[in-house]
Structure 1
């Protein structure tokens, strides 16, 4: 799979495809805290909200189809030295190296942005997400219990940390 996989910085023209991709993941449920559909405008707004402190990367196949994307950026609940990370990989494409390739692009970008560590905030019922971040070297450091999602569902979350130094 990784042979015809291309990872590059995401840009505004990717917003529609990324939103469509993310909506498919949201509809399936269980791997993201997001529960409402997103639009290309939402994605563009997120991508441009703090460009000096964020990095977005997209993974696509040889035909330009989005197979995943990853972002790091600031989060209100984290210190300035920490970036929050989100990773989205196409259903039924996990375990094929897409997330690994995205992370190899994200780590140097996070360093260039001046971050000292990356935080992953993962639903505890998201076994593939927990496994992914642990396999990248993230270490558990905290948890959040009883987090209410937009749709009213209550979940617990594991906080994991990856030191960049």
Structure 2
């Protein structure tokens, strides 16, 4: 595998939608339930309103995974509101590419972007049944800081 990590662009929105839709269809590893189209991928990941970065890992023309980081929503109406200097991360790796270092390669770039942006902490809120996601984030230095009925929240200080 010859992997390259680069900034996501609008031309990636179709392959990214197919990748995340496959993950949603399998179930159990993402809080997303509604399928994505190219416009939604663009709006929520590539050109998000509070976006800091979005990277894709590729092997030739194939997208192996992507990772997006955005500032927390200061107007979040729900529980567990985060401080304004925190960011939220999402990592999506194709099922056939998991365990091959894709997430780690993406995070090297994301962590640098977080440092440059002045992020104090990165939040990863993971479904309880997603043991692989919890192990991944723990393995790259995230530590538990909050636990809910359906999720575990981990944080990372990029500074």
TM-score by length of 2: 0.90
In structure 2, the gaps of 5 or more residues are 74-80
Q: Distance in 2 between matches of 1:24 and 1:72?
A: 21
In structure 1, the gaps of 5 or more residues are 146-155
By how many angstroms is 1:75 displaced? 2.4
SS in 2 for 1:92: helix
1:58 to 36, 56, 59: 56
By how many angstroms is 1:50 displaced? 2.1
More moved, 39-48 vs 125-134: 39-48
2:122 to 118, 135, 159: 118
SS in 2 for 1:104: helix
Q: How many matched pairs?
A: 151
Matched, 1:22 2:26: no
- Matches for 1:60-139 after TM superposition, within 5 Å: 60-62=58-60, 64-76=61-73, 77-139=81-143
By how many angstroms is 1:137 displaced? 0.6
TM-score by length of 1: 0.87
By how many angstroms is 1:132 displaced? 0.1
Q: Distance in 1 between matches of 2:84 and 2:9?
A: 24
Q: Distance in 2 between matches of 1:120 and 1:107?
A: 13
Q: RMSD of aligned C-alpha atoms?
A: 1.2
SS in 2 for 1:128: helix
SS in 1 for 2:35: coil
Structure 1 partner of 2:47:
48
Matched, 1:160 2:159: no
